[in-house]
Each structure stands twice: as structure tokens, then as C-alpha cells.
Amino acid sequence: MTLNVEQIRKDFPILERETQNGARIIYLDSTATSQKPAQVIEAMNDYYRRSNANIHRGVHTLAEEATSMYEGAREKIAKFINASSSREIIYTRNTTESINLVAYSWARANLKAGDLVVLTEMEHHSNLVPWHMLEAERGIELDFIPVTEDGLLDLETYKSLLDRRPKLVSFTHMSNVLGTVNPAAEIIRLAHEAGAIVLVDGAQSVPHLTVDVQALDADFYAFSAHKMCGPTGIGALYGKSSLLEAMPPFLGGGDMIKEVKLRSFRANTLPHKFEAGTPAIAEAVGFGAAVDYLSAIGMERIAEHEREITEYALDRLEEIPGVRLFGPSAEKKGGVAAFTLEGVHPHDVAQILDRDGIAVRAGHHCAQPLHEKFGIPATSRASFYLYNTKDEVDMLVNGIYKVKEMFG
């Protein structure tokens, strides 16, 4: 059953906006952050209007309501990715903080000089820099699964890296530049056979695909609310409870403690052990509302809609002389089309498209090493979600032709 996109678009107030020169907003930047439906906005407003209070320790009505909403959202998130328990869902600020939590807590407790961490050449900086920092501090070794010319991971080289018995394999489920959907289950299975723990960056996959962390057998899985119709400032780390139980706390302070004495403390139970201080309560409520919204529509239907839009977009963009596309074909990628236009800097492409209300991203997209791999400083990136249409793709293509005319 196809999506009723026109009906879905009515849920997103910002899509009714026009730019200063009267152009209707054509939002093709959901890989950076998605737009928010009214249902999410209203859930957060309702929390502040009716139930605002601090959580867990209060026994008054508002505190109990706020706690119920906060923990209820955690239950929804756990169900959404099929975690075995909500105790395995740790609230963080975003995917970046989730990866850093693993790097600071699990990795610093378990990795020593000479231990190998395997990453990929297509990683976002958030899954590179924490490991660079640990390399400098601890003397661990880093190596990388190469990216092929068609934007896929070289799994034969990966298998040879596993012969070196890495302690950790960390990779993106879906590239934010190439759109490549990596074979996560196979990568995880091979890593486990080699004795490695696996961390998956799911920032781009959870909003667009059906993700089942138990079926994947992921040890850690990180994602953000703001890319899946939820608010900014909150994300989640899924971790197997056996690993989380053994890890030291990430931050110290209120709510992550069971008992504090002047010279000692005992950490709280999961998941609160990793959640120090007053959390992003309203954002958690919004996160839960976003999960409700996507679940009601259906992730399979969303993925199918994006496949259709992406295939159409790649076909249309390939028609334009001077356009170079990056990444695999539509059946191997999510809703991302990164491209360059011969003779025009990506920032100029984005600025000129913006005059017609067309919002695309330009730059290295926090993936500088990947751009270096392809010998370019930057790309323009159009990305698609459940609210985008083929008509908007046509407007993008027309806009690129305008750019070509301006630059001769």
C-alpha cells in the first residue's frame, strides 16, 4: 500500500512556509534533520502545559505524570527497534554522544595499547574522532574497511582485517553521503566470529528502515530523534544488558547514583546508571510521539516510498550534463542523492537552489575522509523522506538546469 503523501504533508506545518521571495519550501535535507509533524510538536507542548515536573524522585501528581511519560517513551523506543528490554535503551543527546558513551565507558575499560578497532572509510566524523582520541590517549590501532568506486564496502578486505582479531568493529548502517545501506547482519556476524564487539551508527537507518537490533545481534546501536521526526537534543544508545551492566558510568551526578557517601558512591541500575542529571524530559516525550507517528504509518511503507523517490531522482539527475552522482544504485541505498555539477562549487549550487525555496545540503557532510577518497572537497546532497514527492524532484532538476545556465 503506497503512502498518501499529500495527507502526510498536512501533518508538517513547516512545509506550508514560503521563503522571503514567495517560493514554497521544498525540503530536501532530511539527512541533516527531518521536519517535525504537528503530533510531535503538540505532545511536547502538552507536556509543558500540563505535566511539567522533574522525574523519578517526586511523589506528587505532576512528577508521577512526567516520569510515566518519560519512561513510557523509552518503552516505545525499545519496541521500535525490538530491544529485549527498555533497560537496554539509554537516553543521550544524539548519536554522537551515544558513540562517545561507548568510547569513554566500554572502550576505556576494555581496550589497551595495540588493540585493533576496525572502522570504515565512509564513517561520519562522529564515528571517527572518538576513536582518534582514544588512539592518541591509549595507543590503540585503527584500520578501515575500504569503500569501492561504486560506494559499497569491500567485504573481502574486511575479512582480512578480521584475521587480525580486532576488539571492536564500528560502522554506519547507512552512509549519510552515499546512501549505501550496509549489510549490517553479515558484518556483525563476521565480527562476532572473530571475537569482536560491534557498535552500529544507526543515525540514518532507524528513521528510514525497519531495524531489529536482536535480529542483527548488534552489541551497541546508536541513533537520534531529530532525524526521525522527533526533536533535537535527544538520542538513544541501545546496548546489550550484559555489556551495559559491566560498564562504568559515563557521567557522574544526580539520578545515576544508588548511594553517595563523602568518599564513595554506588551507581544506579540500568538504564539510569548512564543518565546523570535532569534529562531532556520534553524531548523524550517528543521522541516517543515520533515513534508513534512513524509506527502508525509503517516503516516498510516509508522505505518503499523512499526507494521510489530515490530511483526517480537518480534517473532524473543522471539526465543532466555535467552531474556526477556518488554511491550505489537505488536498490542498495536509502533516500540520498549526493552529486557534483561540473564547473560549479556545491555551495553555489545550494545557494542558487535556495532562491527557489529548494533546501539541499552542500559541503563534506561531516565525512571529509570519504570525500578525499573520491578526490573532491564537497558535494551537493538532496535527501528524501516520507513527505517528499516526485514533483519536488522535478523542481530540483529544473533548479540545477538554472544553475547551469547561470554559470554558462
Q: How far is CA 207 from CA 115, 118, 124, 215, 371, in A?
A: 33, 25, 17, 18, 24
C-alpha cell at 193: 566470529
- Residue-wise over 91-125: b if at least 16 C-beta within 10 A, else e? bbbbbbbbbbbbbbbbbeeebeeebbbbbbbbbbe
- Distance in angstroms (rounded) separating the CA atoms of residues 157 and 251: 37
Q: Known catalytic residue: 229?
A: no
- Distance in angstroms (rounded) separating the CA atoms of residues 122 and 137: 24
Integer-rounded Cα radius of gyration of the chain = 22
List beta partners, residue 290. Answer: none
CB within 8 Å of 334: residues ≥ 6 apart: 174, 179, 181, 204, 205, 208, 209, 306, 310
Question: What does DSSP say about strands 358-359 and 361-363: parallel, antiparallel, or unpaired?
Answer: unpaired
Residue from 366, 369, 373, 402 carrying the catalytic annotation: 366
- Residue-wise over 356-390: b if at least 16 C-beta within 10 A, else e? bbbbbbbbbbbbebbbeebeeebbbbbbbbbbbbe
Helices 61-80, 281-297: axis angle to 10 degrees equals 40
Which ranges in 155-203 belong to alpha helices (H)?
155-162, 184-193
- What is the CB neighbour count within 10 angstroms for residue 4? 11
Q: List active site positions.
A: 366
